[in-house]
């Protein structure tokens, strides 16, 4: 009898130990959190493009992520609380942790996006450690601070940043995007460097901010010709100057073709155009190192309403010729798409895969 009681007690102790371990494992999983997702973010049945496409999110909003997983291609995926599937959260985090300089006035948010609550400013100029990177649905790259206080924006919204570019040892680095800023030093070593932000100086040159935070390097020149006409939608917003920092005036009001009499690049890298009417400025293109630019397109090239085959087919180009691309966007299917200056839609430019 005593032996049976001992075995029963042993079984109970073993069961309790197993339950305890299971609880520990459950607690080790990352806690759920919320993040902003755009309506066009695609949902897959599992953590990777190889899984079946389910649907798009459908509504801009804040959604709860209950589980994370890295796909073999290096992307971070998150499982939605609703159970409908998984969404891609960020690019490969193989480069983290790393350090980057931040200014005292840099704003910290509770999550990777402006939709999250503002926490405070960094408070002191210095070098800080980034332990995680995530792209917000608006295209900005965000970094999570090692201190855990929150997230800071690392780069501008663009189809091209961050990216790598070769720089020579004698390439000069300046403290800001322009020769008017103080010279810091030369690059020092021939190599490939990461650009995390772009800005056009008033002299027309394109500048790139180095990921190391040491400063800016000149990337290329730029030219434009005005006046010209471009289609604008009724809901296109007009600002009092070339940038979102200027006061909002009103929307265009009527779909139509409008005359641009002057162009200017804002410090955030966007191209803006001044309307002939004098009412204000409209944004013409996204921030990128290469747009606007021209490219040859065949008459049979198909035009879609957005950057991807999932968007509606509009028409064919119609005439062989050279066309102007004013914005680029990579689609999740791995293709690079370009927006036509005419405003009629988007064309596929090529594959993003090597």
Q: What CA–CA distance (Å, rounded) separates 149 from 110?
A: 7
- Residue 67, pLDDT > 90, answer no
pLDDT of residue 84: 93
| Residues contacting 174, CB < 8 A, separation 6+ | 181, 182, 183, 184, 207, 215, 216, 217
Residue 63 has pLDDT above 70, yes or no: yes
**Residue 111: band (very low, low, confident or very high) from pLDDT cuts 50, 70, 90:** confident
Is the predicted pLDDT of residue 306 greater than 70, yes or no? yes
Residue 200's pLDDT is what? 62
pTM: 0.28
Exposure of 24 in the CB half-sphere (CA atoms within 13 A): 6
- Could you give the CA distance from residue 44 to residue 29 in angstroms, rounded to a whole number? 21
Weakest-pLDDT range from 68-72, 75-79, 132-136, 258-262? 68-72
């Amino acid at each position: 009898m005593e032996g049976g009681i001992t075995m029963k007690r042993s079984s109970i102790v073993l069961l309790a130990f197993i339950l305890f371990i299971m609880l520990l494992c459950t607690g080790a999983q990352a806690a759920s959190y919320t993040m902003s997702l755009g309506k066009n973010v695609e949902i897959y049945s599992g953590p990777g493009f190889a899984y079946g496409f389910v649907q798009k999110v459908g509504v801009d909003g804040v959604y709860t992520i209950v589980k994370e997983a890295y796909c073999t291609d290096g992307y971070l995926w998150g499982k939605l609380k609703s159970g409908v599937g998984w969404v891609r959260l960020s690019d490969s985090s193989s480069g983290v942790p790393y350090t980057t300089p931040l200014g005292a006035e840099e704003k910290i948010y509770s999550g990777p996006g402006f939709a999250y609550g503002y926490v405070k400013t960094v408070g002191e100029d210095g070098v800080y450690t980034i332990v995680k990177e995530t792209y917000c649905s608006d295209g900005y790259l965000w970094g999570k601070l090692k201190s855990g206080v929150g997230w800071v924006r690392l780069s501008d919204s663009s189809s091209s940043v961050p990216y790598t570019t070769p720089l020579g040892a004698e390439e000069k680095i300046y403290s800001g995007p322009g020769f008017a800023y103080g010279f810091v030093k030369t690059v020092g070593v021939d190599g490939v460097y990461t650009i995390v932000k772009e800005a056009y100086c008033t002299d027309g040159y394109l500048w790139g901010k180095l990921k190391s935070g040491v400063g800016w390097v000149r990337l290329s020149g730029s030219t434009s010709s005005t006046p010209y006409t471009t289609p604008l939608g009724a809901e296109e917003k007009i600002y009092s100057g070339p940038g979102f920092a200027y006061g909002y005036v009103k929307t265009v009001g009527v779909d139509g073709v409008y005359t641009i009499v002057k162009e200017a690049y804002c410090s955030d890298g966007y191209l803006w155009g001044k309307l002939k009417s004098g009412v204000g400025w409209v944004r013409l293109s996204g921030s990128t190192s290469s747009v606007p630019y021209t490219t040859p397109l065949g008459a049979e090239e198909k035009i879609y309403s957005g950057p991807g085959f999932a968007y509606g087919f509009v028409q064919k180009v119609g005439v062989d010729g050279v066309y102007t691309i004013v914005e680029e966007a990579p689609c999740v299917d791995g293709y690079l798409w370009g927006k036509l200056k005419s405003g009629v839609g988007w064309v596929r430019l090529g594959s993003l895969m090597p």
